[in-house]
Amino acid sequence: MIEKANLEIFAETLLSLAKKDKDIIVVTSDSRGSGKLTNFGKELPDQIIEVGIAEQNLVGICAGLSAVGKKVFGVSPSSFLTARALEQIKNDIAYSNHPVTLVGISSGVSYGQLGSTHHSIHDIAVLRAINNLNIVIPCDNFETQKVIQSAVNYSKPLFIRFGKKPMLKIHSDNKSFKIGKGIRVKEGKDLVFIATGETVQRAYQAIEILEKDNFKCTLISMHTIKPFDEYLFLQSIKNTRGIITLEEHSESGGLGEKCASILVQKKITTNFKIIGFPDEYMVNGSQSDVLDHYDMSPKRLVEIAKELIS
Protein backbone atom coordinates (compact mmCIF):
# COMPACT_ATOMS: atom_id res chain seq x y z
CA MET A 1 0.00 0.00 0.00
CA ILE A 2 1.33 3.43 -0.89
CA GLU A 3 1.13 5.88 1.97
CA LYS A 4 2.09 9.53 2.30
CA ALA A 5 5.55 10.98 1.88
CA ASN A 6 7.66 10.65 5.03
CA LEU A 7 8.05 14.42 4.78
CA GLU A 8 4.33 14.89 5.32
CA ILE A 9 4.23 12.51 8.26
CA PHE A 10 7.15 14.37 9.78
CA ALA A 11 5.33 17.70 9.50
CA GLU A 12 2.03 16.37 10.83
CA THR A 13 3.69 14.58 13.74
CA LEU A 14 5.77 17.58 14.70
CA LEU A 15 2.79 19.93 14.60
CA SER A 16 0.66 17.69 16.81
CA LEU A 17 3.50 17.27 19.31
CA ALA A 18 4.28 20.98 19.33
CA LYS A 19 0.66 21.91 20.02
CA LYS A 20 0.97 20.07 23.33
CA ASP A 21 4.48 21.26 24.18
CA LYS A 22 5.34 24.91 23.78
CA ASP A 23 9.04 24.17 24.33
CA ILE A 24 9.21 22.54 20.92
CA ILE A 25 10.78 25.05 18.53
CA VAL A 26 11.33 24.61 14.81
CA VAL A 27 14.07 26.55 13.05
CA THR A 28 13.94 27.02 9.26
CA SER A 29 16.11 28.66 6.61
CA ASP A 30 13.64 29.71 3.90
CA SER A 31 12.76 26.01 4.04
CA ARG A 32 9.35 25.90 5.68
CA GLY A 33 7.57 25.27 2.38
CA SER A 34 9.99 22.50 1.39
CA GLY A 35 9.59 21.07 4.90
CA LYS A 36 5.76 21.13 4.68
CA LEU A 37 5.81 23.42 7.70
CA THR A 38 3.77 26.29 6.29
CA ASN A 39 0.84 25.10 8.41
CA PHE A 40 3.05 24.84 11.46
CA GLY A 41 4.05 28.46 10.94
CA LYS A 42 0.42 29.55 10.72
CA GLU A 43 -0.81 27.59 13.69
CA LEU A 44 2.16 28.06 16.01
CA PRO A 45 3.89 31.28 14.91
CA ASP A 46 5.68 31.58 18.25
CA GLN A 47 7.25 28.17 17.89
CA ILE A 48 8.98 28.73 14.55
CA ILE A 49 12.16 30.72 14.05
CA GLU A 50 13.00 31.79 10.51
CA VAL A 51 16.62 32.73 9.78
CA GLY A 52 16.52 33.19 6.01
CA ILE A 53 18.91 31.41 3.66
CA ALA A 54 21.59 30.92 6.31
CA GLU A 55 22.17 27.29 7.26
CA GLN A 56 25.21 27.91 9.44
CA ASN A 57 23.27 30.50 11.38
CA LEU A 58 20.38 28.03 11.65
CA VAL A 59 22.49 25.33 13.30
CA GLY A 60 24.14 27.77 15.70
CA ILE A 61 20.75 29.18 16.71
CA CYS A 62 19.48 25.62 17.26
CA ALA A 63 22.37 25.01 19.68
CA GLY A 64 21.60 28.24 21.52
CA LEU A 65 17.89 27.50 21.83
CA SER A 66 18.72 24.04 23.16
CA ALA A 67 21.14 25.54 25.68
CA VAL A 68 18.28 27.48 27.26
CA GLY A 69 15.98 24.49 27.49
CA LYS A 70 14.10 24.33 24.18
CA LYS A 71 13.40 21.11 22.31
CA VAL A 72 14.75 22.08 18.95
CA PHE A 73 14.20 20.79 15.41
CA GLY A 74 16.38 22.40 12.75
CA VAL A 75 14.87 21.76 9.34
CA SER A 76 16.64 22.39 6.04
CA PRO A 77 17.50 20.47 2.85
CA SER A 78 19.99 17.78 3.83
CA SER A 79 22.56 18.92 1.28
CA PHE A 80 22.85 22.45 2.63
CA LEU A 81 22.35 21.50 6.28
CA THR A 82 25.08 18.89 6.37
CA ALA A 83 27.61 20.38 3.95
CA ARG A 84 27.28 24.10 4.56
CA ALA A 85 26.83 23.90 8.31
CA LEU A 86 29.03 20.90 9.02
CA GLU A 87 31.32 22.73 11.43
CA GLN A 88 28.38 24.11 13.38
CA ILE A 89 26.96 20.58 13.60
CA LYS A 90 30.31 19.23 14.78
CA ASN A 91 31.17 21.92 17.33
CA ASP A 92 27.98 23.62 18.42
CA ILE A 93 25.68 20.58 18.46
CA ALA A 94 27.69 17.36 18.80
CA TYR A 95 30.84 18.41 20.65
CA SER A 96 28.99 20.85 22.91
CA ASN A 97 26.38 18.13 23.45
CA HIS A 98 23.17 20.00 22.78
CA PRO A 99 20.42 17.46 22.09
CA VAL A 100 19.11 19.19 18.99
CA THR A 101 17.33 17.23 16.26
CA LEU A 102 18.53 18.18 12.80
CA VAL A 103 16.16 17.18 10.04
CA GLY A 104 17.66 16.85 6.56
CA ILE A 105 14.76 17.07 4.12
CA SER A 106 14.80 16.05 0.45
CA SER A 107 17.85 13.91 1.14
CA GLY A 108 19.79 11.62 -1.15
CA VAL A 109 18.91 12.37 -4.76
CA SER A 110 15.36 13.56 -4.00
CA TYR A 111 16.03 16.77 -5.90
CA GLY A 112 16.59 14.83 -9.13
CA GLN A 113 17.41 17.16 -12.02
CA LEU A 114 18.42 20.03 -9.74
CA GLY A 115 21.74 18.24 -9.65
CA SER A 116 24.69 17.66 -7.39
CA THR A 117 24.52 20.95 -5.46
CA HIS A 118 21.17 19.77 -4.11
CA HIS A 119 21.94 16.10 -3.56
CA SER A 120 23.12 14.76 -0.23
CA ILE A 121 25.02 11.60 -0.97
CA HIS A 122 27.69 12.53 1.55
CA ASP A 123 25.64 13.18 4.67
CA ILE A 124 25.76 9.72 6.25
CA ALA A 125 29.51 9.49 5.74
CA VAL A 126 30.43 12.88 7.15
CA LEU A 127 28.03 12.68 10.07
CA ARG A 128 29.07 9.11 10.95
CA ALA A 129 32.55 10.48 11.53
CA ILE A 130 31.31 13.02 14.06
CA ASN A 131 31.32 11.81 17.63
CA ASN A 132 28.21 12.14 19.77
CA LEU A 133 25.75 12.44 16.91
CA ASN A 134 23.22 9.73 16.16
CA ILE A 135 21.72 9.15 12.73
CA VAL A 136 18.29 7.80 11.79
CA ILE A 137 16.88 7.30 8.29
CA PRO A 138 13.25 6.15 8.45
CA CYS A 139 11.96 3.96 5.64
CA ASP A 140 8.20 4.52 5.84
CA ASN A 141 5.47 6.55 7.51
CA PHE A 142 5.52 4.35 10.61
CA GLU A 143 9.24 4.75 11.24
CA THR A 144 9.04 8.47 10.47
CA GLN A 145 6.29 9.08 12.99
CA LYS A 146 8.07 7.01 15.63
CA VAL A 147 11.44 8.66 15.19
CA ILE A 148 9.97 12.17 15.41
CA GLN A 149 8.08 11.20 18.56
CA SER A 150 11.25 9.69 20.01
CA ALA A 151 13.33 12.71 19.07
CA VAL A 152 11.43 15.24 21.19
CA ASN A 153 12.88 14.07 24.48
CA TYR A 154 15.93 12.27 23.11
CA SER A 155 18.99 12.97 25.23
CA LYS A 156 21.55 13.24 22.44
CA PRO A 157 22.18 15.18 19.24
CA LEU A 158 20.29 13.49 16.44
CA PHE A 159 20.23 13.72 12.66
CA ILE A 160 17.23 12.44 10.70
CA ARG A 161 16.92 12.43 6.92
CA PHE A 162 14.20 11.46 4.44
CA GLY A 163 12.82 12.22 0.99
CA LYS A 164 9.61 13.70 -0.30
CA LYS A 165 7.96 10.94 -2.34
CA PRO A 166 4.99 8.85 -1.12
CA MET A 167 6.26 5.58 0.32
CA LEU A 168 5.21 1.97 0.47
CA LYS A 169 3.88 0.79 3.82
CA ILE A 170 6.58 -1.51 5.17
CA HIS A 171 5.64 -2.01 8.81
CA SER A 172 2.39 -2.74 10.62
CA ASP A 173 1.49 -0.12 13.20
CA ASN A 174 2.04 -2.43 16.16
CA LYS A 175 5.75 -2.98 15.46
CA SER A 176 8.05 -1.78 18.18
CA PHE A 177 10.40 1.05 17.32
CA LYS A 178 13.49 2.15 19.17
CA ILE A 179 16.33 4.36 17.99
CA GLY A 180 19.35 2.07 17.74
CA LYS A 181 17.37 -1.10 16.98
CA GLY A 182 16.89 -2.14 13.38
CA ILE A 183 13.68 -3.88 12.32
CA ARG A 184 13.47 -7.27 10.64
CA VAL A 185 10.87 -6.97 7.89
CA LYS A 186 11.24 -10.41 6.30
CA GLU A 187 13.08 -13.56 7.24
CA GLY A 188 14.66 -16.13 4.91
CA LYS A 189 17.91 -18.10 4.66
CA ASP A 190 19.18 -17.53 1.12
CA LEU A 191 19.95 -13.84 1.08
CA VAL A 192 20.00 -10.89 3.45
CA PHE A 193 19.18 -7.36 2.35
CA ILE A 194 20.30 -4.63 4.73
CA ALA A 195 18.74 -1.36 3.62
CA THR A 196 18.10 2.06 5.08
CA GLY A 197 15.57 4.77 4.43
CA GLU A 198 13.55 4.70 1.29
CA THR A 199 15.74 2.05 -0.34
CA VAL A 200 14.05 -0.47 1.97
CA GLN A 201 11.10 -0.18 -0.38
CA ARG A 202 13.24 -1.14 -3.36
CA ALA A 203 14.70 -4.14 -1.55
CA TYR A 204 11.18 -5.16 -0.52
CA GLN A 205 10.00 -5.09 -4.13
CA ALA A 206 13.03 -7.10 -5.26
CA ILE A 207 12.38 -9.71 -2.58
CA GLU A 208 8.79 -10.11 -3.74
CA ILE A 209 10.15 -11.10 -7.16
CA LEU A 210 12.84 -13.35 -5.68
CA GLU A 211 10.27 -15.14 -3.56
CA LYS A 212 8.36 -16.10 -6.69
CA ASP A 213 11.57 -17.78 -7.85
CA ASN A 214 11.75 -19.59 -4.51
CA PHE A 215 14.56 -17.58 -2.96
CA LYS A 216 14.05 -16.97 0.75
CA CYS A 217 15.24 -13.55 1.83
CA THR A 218 15.74 -11.57 4.99
CA LEU A 219 15.13 -7.83 4.92
CA ILE A 220 16.39 -5.54 7.65
CA SER A 221 15.32 -1.92 7.82
CA MET A 222 18.45 -0.49 9.40
CA HIS A 223 16.85 2.86 10.18
CA THR A 224 19.50 3.76 12.73
CA ILE A 225 22.94 4.15 11.22
CA LYS A 226 24.40 5.29 14.54
CA PRO A 227 24.44 3.70 17.08
CA PHE A 228 24.57 0.69 14.77
CA ASP A 229 22.57 -2.42 15.66
CA GLU A 230 25.46 -4.84 15.35
CA TYR A 231 23.59 -7.55 17.23
CA LEU A 232 20.69 -7.65 14.78
CA PHE A 233 23.08 -7.47 11.84
CA LEU A 234 25.12 -10.44 13.04
CA GLN A 235 22.03 -12.45 13.99
CA SER A 236 20.38 -11.92 10.65
CA ILE A 237 23.36 -12.91 8.49
CA LYS A 238 24.04 -16.26 10.22
CA ASN A 239 24.27 -19.05 7.62
CA THR A 240 23.12 -16.86 4.76
CA ARG A 241 24.51 -17.30 1.25
CA GLY A 242 24.92 -13.61 0.59
CA ILE A 243 24.42 -10.06 1.86
CA ILE A 244 23.39 -6.98 -0.12
CA THR A 245 23.41 -3.51 1.38
CA LEU A 246 21.41 -0.67 -0.10
CA GLU A 247 21.50 3.07 0.51
CA GLU A 248 20.63 6.31 -1.29
CA HIS A 249 24.14 7.56 -0.63
CA SER A 250 27.70 7.32 -1.87
CA GLU A 251 29.28 3.89 -1.55
CA SER A 252 31.93 5.65 0.51
CA GLY A 253 31.42 5.80 4.22
CA GLY A 254 27.80 4.73 4.42
CA LEU A 255 25.79 1.75 5.59
CA GLY A 256 27.54 -0.74 3.31
CA GLU A 257 31.03 0.14 4.48
CA LYS A 258 29.83 -0.01 8.10
CA CYS A 259 28.63 -3.57 7.51
CA ALA A 260 31.85 -4.45 5.68
CA SER A 261 33.97 -3.28 8.56
CA ILE A 262 32.05 -5.48 10.99
CA LEU A 263 32.36 -8.50 8.70
CA VAL A 264 36.10 -8.11 8.27
CA GLN A 265 36.79 -7.53 11.92
CA LYS A 266 34.68 -10.57 12.89
CA LYS A 267 36.52 -12.61 10.23
CA ILE A 268 33.24 -13.44 8.50
CA THR A 269 33.72 -14.13 4.81
CA THR A 270 30.66 -14.33 2.64
CA ASN A 271 29.25 -13.07 -0.64
CA PHE A 272 28.79 -9.38 -0.05
CA LYS A 273 27.70 -6.49 -2.24
CA ILE A 274 27.42 -2.78 -1.44
CA ILE A 275 24.94 -0.85 -3.57
CA GLY A 276 25.16 2.93 -3.49
CA PHE A 277 26.48 5.67 -5.75
CA PRO A 278 29.96 5.28 -7.26
CA ASP A 279 32.63 7.98 -7.34
CA GLU A 280 31.86 9.47 -10.74
CA TYR A 281 30.12 12.47 -12.34
CA MET A 282 26.65 11.22 -11.64
CA VAL A 283 24.00 10.74 -14.24
CA ASN A 284 21.27 13.41 -14.28
CA GLY A 285 17.63 12.50 -13.96
CA SER A 286 14.67 12.15 -11.66
CA GLN A 287 15.26 10.50 -8.29
CA SER A 288 13.82 7.21 -9.43
CA ASP A 289 15.73 7.23 -12.74
CA VAL A 290 18.98 7.89 -10.88
CA LEU A 291 18.31 5.10 -8.37
CA ASP A 292 17.41 2.74 -11.22
CA HIS A 293 20.56 3.68 -13.10
CA TYR A 294 22.73 2.83 -10.10
CA ASP A 295 21.40 -0.72 -9.75
CA MET A 296 18.56 0.03 -7.35
CA SER A 297 15.66 -0.97 -9.56
CA PRO A 298 13.94 -4.09 -8.22
CA LYS A 299 14.77 -5.83 -11.49
CA ARG A 300 18.49 -5.10 -11.26
CA LEU A 301 18.51 -6.03 -7.59
CA VAL A 302 17.08 -9.42 -8.47
CA GLU A 303 19.80 -9.98 -11.09
CA ILE A 304 22.53 -8.90 -8.70
CA ALA A 305 21.13 -11.12 -5.95
CA LYS A 306 21.05 -14.19 -8.17
CA GLU A 307 24.56 -13.55 -9.46
CA LEU A 308 25.85 -13.05 -5.93
CA ILE A 309 24.79 -16.46 -4.69
CA SER A 310 25.04 -18.48 -7.88
Partner 1 sequence: MNIKDLQLKSIEYRKTILEIIYNSGAGHTAGSLSCIDILNVLYNNILDINPSNFNSIDRNHYIQSKGHSVEALYAVLCDKGFFTRKELNTLNNFNSHFIGHPTRKIQGIEHNTGALGHGLSVAVGMAIGLKLDKKPYKIFTLLGDGELSEGSIWEGLMSASKYKLDNLIIIIDRNRLQITGKTEDVNPLEPLREKFLSFGHAVHEVNGNSIKDLQSIFKKIPFEDQKTNIIIANTIKGNGISFIENKVIWHHKVPTKSEFQDALKELDKQTLSLKND
Ligand X SMILES: Cc1ncc(C[n+]2csc(CCOP(=O)(O)OP(=O)(O)O)c2C)c(N)n1
99's CB contacts (< 8 A; 6+ apart) are 66, 154, 155, 156, 157, 158
Binding range to partner 1, per CB under 8 A, among 75-83, 122-130, 214-222, 234-242: 75-83
Beta carbon nearer to ligand X, 53 or 268: 53
Residue 234: Cβ within 10 Å count? 13
With CB under 5 to 8 Å by kind, the binding choice for 79 among ligand X, partner 1, none is partner 1
Q: Tell me the site size for partner 1, rule CB under 8 A.
A: 31
Beta carbon nearer to ligand X, 30 or 211: 30
Q: Which of 80, 162, 204, 228 binds partner 1 (CB under 8 A)?
A: 80
With CB under 5 to 8 Å by kind, the binding choice for 134 among ligand X, partner 1, none is none
With CB under 5 to 8 Å by kind, the binding choice for 88 among partner 1, ligand X, none is none
Beta carbon nearer to ligand X, 30 or 289: 30
Beta carbon nearer to partner 1, 300 or 306: 300
Q: Which of 4, 8, 17, 57 binds partner 1 (CB under 8 A)?
A: 57
Q: Which of 23, 39, 87, 115 binds partner 1 (CB under 8 A)?
A: 115
- Regarding 118 and contact with partner 1 (CB under 8 A), the answer is yes
DSSP states of the chain as a string? Answer: -EEEEHHHHHHHHHHHHHHH-TTEEEEESS-TTTTT-HHHHHH-GGGEEE--S-HHHHHHHHHHHHHTT-EEEEEEEHHIIIIITHHHIIIIIIITT---EEEEES-BTTTGGG-GGG-BSSHHHHHHTSTT-EEE---SHHHHHHHHHHHHT-SS-EEEE--SSEEE--S-TT---BTTB-EEEE--SSEEEEE-TTHHHHHHHHHHHHHHTT--EEEEE--EEETT-HHHHHHHHTT-SEEEEEEEEESTTSHHHHHHHHHHHTT---EEEEEEE-SS-PPPS-HHHHHIIIIISHHHHHHHHHHHH-
- Regarding 159 and contact with partner 1 (CB under 8 A), the answer is no
| Nearest residue (beta carbon) to ligand X | 30
Name the residues that contact ligand X, by CB under 6 A: 30, 53, 80, 84
Binding to partner 1 (CB under 8 A) within 263-302 occurs at: 281, 283-286, 289, 293
Beta carbon nearer to partner 1, 54 or 262: 54
Beta carbon nearer to ligand X, 84 or 119: 84
Query: CB of 283: closest distance to ligand X in angstroms?
Result: 21
- Regarding 134 and contact with partner 1 (CB under 8 A), the answer is no
- Regarding 49 and contact with partner 1 (CB under 8 A), the answer is no
272 neighbors 240 (Cβ within 8 angstroms): no
Where on the chain is the footprint of partner 1 (CB under 8 A)?
28-34, 50-54, 56-57, 79-80, 83-84, 113-118, 281, 283-286, 289, 293
